[in-house]
């Protein structure tokens, strides 16, 4: 199998992704001129996207002209500045969006092959485009020249930029224009699914620039071994350890740690005890009893917003969450009670006249009176609140047990942080959507925005009172920097000296030294040693700098904890930070920020539910939790994990990958505004395609009342597949969801959708499929060479009935059932990679096989107990006689295409049947009731080790297996809140070699390796090649590389992780070996 790919490693642009370029158009020119002239006469900064302007003019200049920042001290922009930010104007960008839709031009960011690069893909045929035949209009004023220099190179840039080439400029090719799309200004569209009420431009992740003289290699092809049937002499086990088969030896994978922290509170009376809140339904609250070194999950409710710990008793803790009542514990988290009576009960009721309900955000105890605490709500349909609407304030006078309505802050909009003045518990400060506000009567009345004269960018995320001097106050602006008052808030000054950003989050003073303060920002942590007058960057050791909550040990100002976030769903989603992030988590310093280290052992994804291995790239795995904030990606079989925040990762269903565009990923879910999302750059940026699904709903579906236009769009999509032979062909299936009765899905029944343009549009193609059936289209499989042939498998998972498998042979125009001999309660479907008419189905009564495209099925479960449900299958695409299966109790393997199965559990911590924790799981099996209940709950109702489909996967080379193992019989949380599921892997030796071809400046570099090879660059000055060779620890990496002689003349020196290794030269190749350490940096240079 050969894949042709062009990978272009981009440099960082100084601005966000823009709309795609257009051909000459008079309307576009007239609009451009009109916007510029209008701006000259009366510049209104509210009509421009300030982030777009920041990226073009620089933050210092934009701060001088944007009234949100400079207030009454603004200067008018110059004509040149106006021209430069023309495309930042909302009207301009909206017209671009309109034309983009009309002309069908893509606006996706260039794709990425790994966390260090972005890429675009060449036609699989290898045909090149004639530049002269693809001239397209190019307006250089809309682009950043430095960005273009980095992508196309200075030589090419000089040929196209009029400032350099004048009248001798040549036109750009279509391919060149596609490459430099990210160099245009922001599109001005809000990010998909943004729950904020604020308008901001689309936020994208842009890669880091390569050093001068360093060029990126282009991956031209990847070739895996051709699949073949390798018949085993022994159809059972080769190696026994005791009575267990040890052919496959399982080991736990490194924890998937990321976080998404919203709050950290160190107990004032015992700094050994720390509580940390997470923006996740499955990981609400953690506790540490060793100063944050290790953590334990102690409670689950919803998205944690704020935490308050009694100043006198570390066991008394109250926290707010964004989906229900506050919860309180008086025994350090052993037991909890919800706070839903009294005045609180009234505010929790949904007002039918409003969209949404009141939810609780900030919460705080008085620092010197453990009886008094305050909390706040937001109203309306957004967790972030409103710009300046009313919010309710509540007070407790008995340590948070009972609450009374204190008053209303009429103009707060939403309180992000509360602080109570020491010595006077009636004085409450609030960082709000509408500035800093104060109440001096216990929350009854509020001051209004105290910063209105200092900035028009009102949103504040943090407020802190100086210990011993409550008249000195620090206020952290979401986008306006730091403000300081020394007279109790009467007057303020901007104090940003030393800060490299004005995008701030939480701020806090040190209790032990009132001169010391810390602030968490988009660019890391900063410390002040003069009570906030100036700041010093303290980021050494922070792998990921986007930090939100921060807490200082009350007894030592040098001990600090800081947590990372991406802000997808929290009360502050405006600063959503896209990307493929490395190092998200909780960090600690013991030397005042001079050095930071990870301190989040135990805080890892608690409930893994979905996995997907890349069909071509070895050791690449994506994994996701049931209600996480993003997806996890590993390039080295689980040694290292990166985090990709996106909406579809909240209640995810199926990962699917393009094989002709290998950096393109799709993910289905039932999270509204993210039911189908795609990333064109391997997880750096995501786009919501669900509106296109809704637009493609058929007339028949509407006529049958299965689609309700009157409701907010909310779909449950599941089955998903991208055609291997044509990445433009995508099939998607929906679910009639009966598991979540409170969710108002507006598409009922089960439906099949298809795209033939790479996801630009979808059309329902369900003819022949009974769309009114309450079932789930759980799996879709497409023929590898004929995308007109596809299979849609139904299941009971999250629905009421299963109806087996349906097949189309005309591209979805017609579907028919193919269930002859098949148990209809199907759970998974796999296709043989050699004989495409051979398929395997996992069902509630075992494994079934067809050799004629589904016309006839036969049960092939010898070795698996009779009528034992098989939950999931994985097939080795290099040798498709080898398959793996999970039942509720065991992992099985067949080496002869299903004729015989045997258990391969060695190393897995299996649960015993005595650990059954559900009455339903004790229903005698088999019977339809037990089967239905089990499948709808992802088989967790059986109370055994293995959970559900897509929790067993195999990598592209067939040499790494992954399985998700339950650590508790029941998936239900409590009364002990600990990890529910854990990921294990098995490495099968020897590893398989993969052939790669890279191109650098027209020269070909051939690589054959047992590693995942990526990130190749060539330093022209040093005559040096660098790349990453990734693979699981404990395995041997072997790489052979052929380098053109004029790139590195003479003999080579090869170093791996800085250590020179022995080499062998033969027939133009240099070969070397090394021990995989996850990601190995390889450097090849001249002796």
pLDDT at 348 over 70: no
**Between 968 and 356, where is the model more confident?**
968
From residue 105, give the alpha-carbon distance in Å to each of 20, 90, 101, 261: 7, 19, 7, 38
From residue 340, give the alpha-carbon distance in Å to each of 20, 351, 391, 414: 51, 16, 18, 21
- Percent of the chain at pLDDT > 70 equals 81
Residue 653: the pLDDT is 94
The CATH label, of 3.30.70, 1.10.10, 3.40.50, 2.60.40, for the domain at 991-1086 is 2.60.40
Residue 165: the pLDDT is 79
Phi, psi values for residue 407, rounded to 5°: 170, -170
Residue 1032: the pLDDT is 98
Given CA atoms 272, 275, 278, 282 in this order, what sign does their dihedral have?
positive
Please identify, in words, the CATH class of the domain defined by 646-817.
mainly beta
Q: Given pLDDT bands bounded at 50, 70 and 90, which one contains residue 947?
A: confident
Neighbour-count burial for 277-307, b at 16+ CB within 10 Å, e otherwise? bbbbbbbbbbbbbebbeebebbbbbbbbbbb
pTM of the model as a whole: 0.82
Residue in 1004, 1053, 1057, 1011 with CA at minimum distance from that of residue 1035: 1011
* 277 three-class SS: strand
Residue 43: the pLDDT is 80
Lowest mean pLDDT among 843-847, 913-917, 921-925: 921-925
pLDDT in tens, 287-306: 999 999 999 999 988 889 99
pLDDT at 669 over 50: yes
Q: Given pLDDT bands bounded at 50, 70 and 90, which one contains residue 1085?
A: very high
Residue 353 DSSP symbol: T
pLDDT in tens, 182-234: 565 433 222 223 333 333 445 778 777 899 999 999 888 889 999 999 999 88
472 neighbors 466 (Cβ within 8 angstroms): yes
Residue 220: the pLDDT is 85
Residue in 983, 209, 115, 261 with CA at minimum distance from that of residue 582: 115
pLDDT in tens, 515-544: 999 999 999 999 999 999 999 999 999 999
Mean pLDDT, the chain, whole residue set: 84
Per the omega criterion (within 30 degrees of 0), is the bond before 69 cis?
Answer: no
Tokens of 153: 């190179």
pLDDT in tens, 392-445: 999 999 999 999 999 999 999 999 999 999 999 999 999 999 999 999 999 999
Q: How far apart are CA 71 and CA 73, in angstroms?
A: 6
Task: Convert 471-519 into a string of H (helix), E (strand) and C (coil).
Answer: EEEEEEECCCEEEEECCCCCCCEECCCCCCCCCEEEEEEECCEEEEEEE
Residue in 792, 780, 848 with CA at minimum distance from that of residue 820: 848
Neighbour-count burial for 110-128, b at 16+ CB within 10 Å, e otherwise? bbbbbbbbbbbbbebeeee
Q: How far apart are CA 240 and CA 247, in angstroms?
A: 7
Q: How far apart are CA 285 and CA 993, in angstroms?
A: 44
**Between 715 and 575, where is the model more confident?**
715
Residue 51: the pLDDT is 58
Q: How much is the average pLDDT of 1038-1057? A: 94
Torsion angle defined by CA atoms of residues 546, 453, 412 and 499, in that order, rounded to the nearest 10 degrees? 10
Residue 1022 CB neighbour total at 10 angstroms:
14
588 neighbors 558 (Cβ within 8 angstroms): no
Lowest mean pLDDT among 412-416, 790-794, 932-936: 932-936
CATH topology of domain 261-598: Methylamine Dehydrogenase; Chain H (2.130.10)
Given CA atoms 672, 730, 800, 704 in this order, what sign does their dihedral have?
positive
Residue in 1057, 999, 686 with CA at minimum distance from that of residue 9: 999
Locate CATH 2.60.40 in the chain. Answer: 991-1086
Q: How much is the average pLDDT of 62-90? A: 75
H helical segments located in 22-143: 26-41, 50-57, 59-65, 67-70, 79-84, 90-103
Phi, psi values for residue 962, rounded to 5°: -130, 145
Tokens of 913: 């049947």
* 377 three-class SS: strand
Helix 90-103 vs helix 26-41: crossing angle, to nearest 10: 170
Residue 1081: the pLDDT is 98
Q: Edge-to-edge, what's the strand order for the sheet holding 790-795?
A: 776-782, 790-795, 805-808, 816-817
934 conformational bin, left if phi > 0, alpha if psi -120 to 50, beta if neither: alpha
Residue 62: the pLDDT is 74
Locate CATH 2.130.10.10 in the chain. Answer: 261-598, 646-817
484 neighbors 526 (Cβ within 8 angstroms): no
Residue in 186, 237, 195, 245 with CA at minimum distance from that of residue 52: 186
From residue 476, give the alpha-carbon distance in Å to each of 464, 481, 518, 546: 9, 6, 11, 15
């Amino acid at each position: 199998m050969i894949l042709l790919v062009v990978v272009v490693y981009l440099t960082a642009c100084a601005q966000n992704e823009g709309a795609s370029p257009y051909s000459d158009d008079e309307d576009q020119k007239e609009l451009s001129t009109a916007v510029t002239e209008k701006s000259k006469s009366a510049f209104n900064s509210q009509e421009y996207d300030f982030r777009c302007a920041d990226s073009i003019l620089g933050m210092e200049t934009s701060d001088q002209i944007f009234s949100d920042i400079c207030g009454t001290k603004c200067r008018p922009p110059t004509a040149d500045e106006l021209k430069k930010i023309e495309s930042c104007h909302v009207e301009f960008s909206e017209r671009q969006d309109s034309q983009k839709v009309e002309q069908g031009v893509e606006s996706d960011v260039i794709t990425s092959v790994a966390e260090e690069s972005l890429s675009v893909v060449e036609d699989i045929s290898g045909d090149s485009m004639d530049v002269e035949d693809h001239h397209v209009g190019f307006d250089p004023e809309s682009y950043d020249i430095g960005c273009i220099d980095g992508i196309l190179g200075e030589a090419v840039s000089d040929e196209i930029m009029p400032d350099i080439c004048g009248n001798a400029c040549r036109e750009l090719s279509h391919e060149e224009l596609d490459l430099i799309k990210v160099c245009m200004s922001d599109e001005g569209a809000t990010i998909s699914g943004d729950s904020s009420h604020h308008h901001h431009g689309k936020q994208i992740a842009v890669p880091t620039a390569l050093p001068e003289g360093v060029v990126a290699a282009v991956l031209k092809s990847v070739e895996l071994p051709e699949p073949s049937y390798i018949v085993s002499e022994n159809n059972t086990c080769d190696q026994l350890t005791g009575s267990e088969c040890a052919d496959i030896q399982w080991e736990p994978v490194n924890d998937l740690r990321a976080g998404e922290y919203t709050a950290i509170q160190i107990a004032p009376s015992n700094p050994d005890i720390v509580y940390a809140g997470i923006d996740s339904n499955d990981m609400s609250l953690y506790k540490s009893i060793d100063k944050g070194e290790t953590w334990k999950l102690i409670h689950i409710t919803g998205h944690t917003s704020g935490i308050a710990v009694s100043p006198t008793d570390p066991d008394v803790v109250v926290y707010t969450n964004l989906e229900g009542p506050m919860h309180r514990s008086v025994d350090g988290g052993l037991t909890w009670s919800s706070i839903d009576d009294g005045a609180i009960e009234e505010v929790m009721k949904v007002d039918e006249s409003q969209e949404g309900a009141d939810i609780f955000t900030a919460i705080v105890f008085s620092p010197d009176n453990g009886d008094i605490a305050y909390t706040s709500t937001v109203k309306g349909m957004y967790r972030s609140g409103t710009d300046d609407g009313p919010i309710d304030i509540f007070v407790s006078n008995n340590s948070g047990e009972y609450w009374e309505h204190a008053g209303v802050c009429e103009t707060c909009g939403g309180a992000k942080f509360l602080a109570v003045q020491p010595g006077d518990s009636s004085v409450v400060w609030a960082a709000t959507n509408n500035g800093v506000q104060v109440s001096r009567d216990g929350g009854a009345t509020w001051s209004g925005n105290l910063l209105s004269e200092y900035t028009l960018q009102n949103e504040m995320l943090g407020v802190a009172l100086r210990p011993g001097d409550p008249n000195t106050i620090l206020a952290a602006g979401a986008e306006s920097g730091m403000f300081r008052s020394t007279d109790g808030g009467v007057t303020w000054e901007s104090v940003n000296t030393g800060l490299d950003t004005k995008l701030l989050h939480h701020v806090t003073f040190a209790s032990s030294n009132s001169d010391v303060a810390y602030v968490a920002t988009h660019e890391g942590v900063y410390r002040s040693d003069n009570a906030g007058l100036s700041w010093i960057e303290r980021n050494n050791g922070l792998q990921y700098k986007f930090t939100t909550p921060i807490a200082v040990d009350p007894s030592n100002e040098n001990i600090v904890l800081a947590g990372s976030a991406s802000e997808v769903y929290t009360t502050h989603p405006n600063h959503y930070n896209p990307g493929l992030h490395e190092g998200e988590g909780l960090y600690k310093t013991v030397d005042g920020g001079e050095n930071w280290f990870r301190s989040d052992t135990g805080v890892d994804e608690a409930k893994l539910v979905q996995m997907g291995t890349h069909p071509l790239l070895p050791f690449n795995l994506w994994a996701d939790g049931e209600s996480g904030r993003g997806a996890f990606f590993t390039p080295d079989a689980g040694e290292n994990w990166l985090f990709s925040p996106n909406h579809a990762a909240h209640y995810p269903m199926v990962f699917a990958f393009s094989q002709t565009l290998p950096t393109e990923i799709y993910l289905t879910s039932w999270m509204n505004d993210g039911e189908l999302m795609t990333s064109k750059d391997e997880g750096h940026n995501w786009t919501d395609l669900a509106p296109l699904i809704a637009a493609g709903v058929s007339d028949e579906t509407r006529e049958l009342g299965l689609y309700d236009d009157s409701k907010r769009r909310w779909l449950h999509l599941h089955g998903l597949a991208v055609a291997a032979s044509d990445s433009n062909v995508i099939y998607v299936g929906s679910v009639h969801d009966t598991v979540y009765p409170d969710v108002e899905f507006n598409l009922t029944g089960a439906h099949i959708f298809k795209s033939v343009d790479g996801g630009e549009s979808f059309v329902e193609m369900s003819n022949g499929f009974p769309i009114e059936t309450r079932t789930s289209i759980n799996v879709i499989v497409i023929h590898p060479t004929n995308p007109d042939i596809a299979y849609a498998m139904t299941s009971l998972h999250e629905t009421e009935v299963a109806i087996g498998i349906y097949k189309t042979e005309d591209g979805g125009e017609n579907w028919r059932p193919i269930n002859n001999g098949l148990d209809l309660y199907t759970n998974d479907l796999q296709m043989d990679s050699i004989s495409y008419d051979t398929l395997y189905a996992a069902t509630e009564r075992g494994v079934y096989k067809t050799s004629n495209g589904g016309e006839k099925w036969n049960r092939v479960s010898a070795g698996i107990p009779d009528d034992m449900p098989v939950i999931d299958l994985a097939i080795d695409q290099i040798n498709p006689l080898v398959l793996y299966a999970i039942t509720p109790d065991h992992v099985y393997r067949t080496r002869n295409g299903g004729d015989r199965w045997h258990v391969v559990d060695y190393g897995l911590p299996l649960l015993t049947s005595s650990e059954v924790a559900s009455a339903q799981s004790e229903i005698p099996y088999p019977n339809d009731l037990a089967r239905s209940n089990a499948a709808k709950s992802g088989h967790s109702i059986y109370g055994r080790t293995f959970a559900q489909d897509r929790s067993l996967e195999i990598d592209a080379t067939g040499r790494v297996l992954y399985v998700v193992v339950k650590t508790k019989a029941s998936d239900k949380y409590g009364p002990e809140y600990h990890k529910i599921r854990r990921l294990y892997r098995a490495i099968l030796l020897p590893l398989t070699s993969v052939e790669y071809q890279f191109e650098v400046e027209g020269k070909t570099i051939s690589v054959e390796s047992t590693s995942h090879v990526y990130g190749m660059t060539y330093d022209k000055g040093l005559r040096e090649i660098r790349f990453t060779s990734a693979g699981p620890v404990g395995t041997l990496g072997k790489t052979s590389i052929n380098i053109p002689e004029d790139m590195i003349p003479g003999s080579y020196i090869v170093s791996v992780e800085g250590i020179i290794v022995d080499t062998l030269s033969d027939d133009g190749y240099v070969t070397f070996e090394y021990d995989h350490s996850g990601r190995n940096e390889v450097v090849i240079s001249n002796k």
